[in-house]
Structure 1
Amino acid sequence: MTNFHKTSPTTLPERRETGRPSSWDRYLSVLEAQRIPENQRRWYMVRAEAFVAFVKPARMTEVESEQVVAFFHRHSLEQSLSDWQFRQMVEAVQLLVIDLADNRACRSLDWDYWKEAGQALAVDHPTMAQAVHPEALVSALPRYQASADQHEPLKTLAHSLRARRYSLRTEQTYVDWCHRFILFVRPKRMQESSAQDVEAFLAHLAVERQVAASTQNQALNALVYLFKEVLGRPLADLQFGRAKRPPRLPVVLSRDEVRALLAELSGVYGLMARLMYGTGMRLMECVRLRVGDVDFGNGRIVVRDGKGGKDRVVPLPERLVEDLKRHLQDVRGLHEGDLAVGAGTVYLPDALARKYPNAPQEWIWQYVFPSSRLSTDPKLGKLRRHHLHESGLQRVIKAAAMQAGIAKRVNSHALRHSFATHLLEAGYDIRTVQELLGHADVSTTMIYTHVLNRGGVPPVRSPVDEL
């Protein structure tokens, strides 16, 4: 493949009509076979050319996975590439090294991690938003949809929620619903709105928007808080009862389906999926896990700041110990590389960084599942490596379920549901499962008793099977 160094693909090469096609001709054929849009092929070739120059004079069949990772690391420091451009770069190199050159040494590289885990966290992501003043987040709402004076109640609302230690998700959700309410009653000012306007808005959500009962109740909670705590006018005369939320059974995978799903997952995302099924952690609890919270000595994981701001302890699956240790070795190498270029810090909550100035660089505070790219902190302008974006794991799990032929609505939360159900099937008492899941009320955990196969109880046999 030496002729990669003899031609340049900065513009799409003319195909040779006679003779043996060049390596760039064959690479272009790979792009066509993978149905890469024609208007993007030139950029794929530009990314591939940059990689060829990086590893020169090595042939593509001789490239080691460490060289590929070094190339990605170099570009992870650049802030000029957008999320989709970084992903395009990884795909371009994968098509070059694996599909075209059939490089066996690089097949074991975690390509999905580099493609999916490079998505940067937006400023309004809950992890990032903690470092941003709540009023600044409200100011980021589209100005064309509401005048500046209409934003003042929203700023007061966000400030009140942050002061009372509501979760960032709740803060964002309440501000969003109140913003929608402002648009609904416009041109009437917020201070002039009444309980009748709230009733009309909630009816609009149910009739016109056809939202779920839980969504309608969420909007009602936001408006009740707004009128009581911000406007000082509690909705005492509201003639709108809460929508009745019908009980929904969780999606639970059988043990065979769990095995089939996990067999389709490998690398970092495979480890995360196994950890979620093995511990019952929620999606965000898993992606926000820090090194110091993994206790190998006592065989447990401390889940910090879970739903409701509570901490809890879950067992560390013995089968995952060695995989997790190897993964942390790779993460440590990544962290040391970041420190060498003046980065290597993470965000710490609750002003811990001011109390312990060196803590953001310490190993125990690093994320177990870091992003494949560095990001610029919106407040301080520092380069940080945040945790990977949760949407990457969600996409990979959904794709793996389709690949495994599982005809269910499989998502990351199905692993948590399966964890709870399989524990109850194994004979663990419901209070133990409640504590492991972090439920405040055992009635929430009781939902899993409706979907488990009770040991010692004969299953109900359908009459049609008796014919």
Structure 2
Amino acid sequence: MESFHQRTDLENLDNAQIAAFLDDIAVRLRVSSSTQRQALNALVFYYREVRQRDDLQLGDYQRARKSRHIPTVLSPEEVQRLLPEIRPPYQLMAKLQYGAGLRVAELISLRIKDIDLSRGQIHIHAGKGNKDRVTLLPKSLQEPIARQIESSRELFDYDRRQETPGVYLPPALSRKYPKAGETFPWHWLWPANDLSTDPRSQVVRRHHMHPGSYQRGFHQGVKKAGMTKRVTTHVLRHSFATHLLENGTNIAEVQSLLGHKNIETTQIYLHVRTQRSEMLTSPLDHFG
């Protein structure tokens, strides 16, 4: 903001001058609405909390436009080509992410108690927006996931023999049930091979697999599969939603499975789905 106003005494700017800066980053720099909102929050904190100004009124400024990007989606055939090229254990993780529509953070932080093999469900706790939801556990993955649970149990039993501190728990739960982290239901589905220092408490314990490890294994598979699209792990979640809609699943049900707050967020997948029953034909294909 110093360079925009060409002055250093920012504490003396009036409402119009502050709003002019928000206008500029939206109109000239074309930042996203979330970036402009971050700038607004920072300015409000600075002037109200640091400078103790009670005259701040920033309602009149140009809002940045919300961008709507069409997500990258793999076809079912591309998913079938990609998954075999991902090496274990990342292959099972990728299959579960696609089959259940999970975010990476949700996938790697799954605990044993979150898997309901008998009902074919996965319980997501404190997902994006701190919301809980239930999503699908594919039938084809029930046996592999059961084996993964037993693999996790081996590390759990080893930690108990070594008297390793229990796994991380949310603070409120840790206060109420301090020993819950030493029980198997709270153990990670994808535990890390090595112990690490918890940066929050400095306790050396077993954490879940680092997301970077999964993402590196995934991208190696993408390279081996020769994918020409820009494929990230999140593309599996996009593909899950799109393929459900293509198969006739109600959009409200897809919204629930994904954990979207607003159905408008889910509707973006309507723009990339293929109407398999009424395949649209390019006019070029009508030429003889």
Relative to the length of structure 1, the TM-score reads 0.55
Q: How does 1:11-410 map onto structure 2 within 5 Å?
A: 188=8, 192=12, 194-195=14-15, 196-197=17-18, 199-200=20-21, 203=24, 212-223=31-42, 226=45, 230=49, 231=52, 233=54, 235-237=56-58, 239-410=60-231
Contact 1:371 1:387 in 2 (8 A): yes
Residue 224 of structure 2 aligns to a residue whose secondary structure is: helix
Tell me, in whole angstroms, the C-alpha distance in 1 between the residues paired with 2:124 and 2:166: 21
Relative to structure 1, the CA distance from residue 243 to residue 364 in structure 2 (aligned partners, 3 Å threshold; closer, same or farther) is same
Higher RCO (CA-CA < 8 Å; seq separation 6+): 2
Residue 454 of structure 1 aligns to a residue whose secondary structure is: coil
In structure 2, stretches of 5+ residues that fail to align are none
Aligned residues: 285
Q: Which residue of 2 aligns with 1:40?
A: none
Contact 1:206 1:216 in 2 (8 A): no
Q: Which residue of 2 aligns with 1:456?
A: 277
Contact 1:224 1:235 in 2 (8 A): no
Residue 301 of structure 1 aligns to a residue whose secondary structure is: strand
Contact 1:199 1:240 in 2 (8 A): yes
Tell me, in whole angstroms, the C-alpha distance in 1 between the residues paired with 2:169 and 2:227: 39
Residue 267 of structure 1 aligns to a residue whose secondary structure is: coil
Relative to structure 1, the CA distance from residue 374 to residue 184 in structure 2 (aligned partners, 3 Å threshold; closer, same or farther) is farther
Relative to structure 1, the CA distance from residue 322 to residue 461 in structure 2 (aligned partners, 3 Å threshold; closer, same or farther) is same
Contact 1:199 1:239 in 2 (8 A): no
Relative to structure 1, the CA distance from residue 441 to residue 379 in structure 2 (aligned partners, 3 Å threshold; closer, same or farther) is closer
Q: CA deviation at 1:224?
A: 6.0
Higher helix share: 1
Q: CA deviation at 1:219?
A: 2.2
Q: Report the AA paired with residue 364 of structure 1.
A: P
Contact 1:253 1:418 in 2 (8 A): yes
What is the percent sequence identity of the aligned residues?
36
Tell me, in whole angstroms, the C-alpha distance in 1 between the residues paired with 2:6 and 2:157: 54
Q: CA deviation at 1:456?
A: 2.7
C-alpha deviations, 1:30-79, integer Å up to 9, x for none?
Answer: xxxxxxxxxxxxxxxxxxxxxxxxxxxxxxxxxxxxxxxxxxxxxxxxxx
Cα RMSD of the aligned pairs, angstroms, is 2.9
Q: Report the AA paired with residue 253 of structure 2.
A: T
Relative to the length of structure 2, the TM-score reads 0.87
Tell me, in whole angstroms, the C-alpha distance in 1 between the residues paired with 2:112 and 2:268: 33
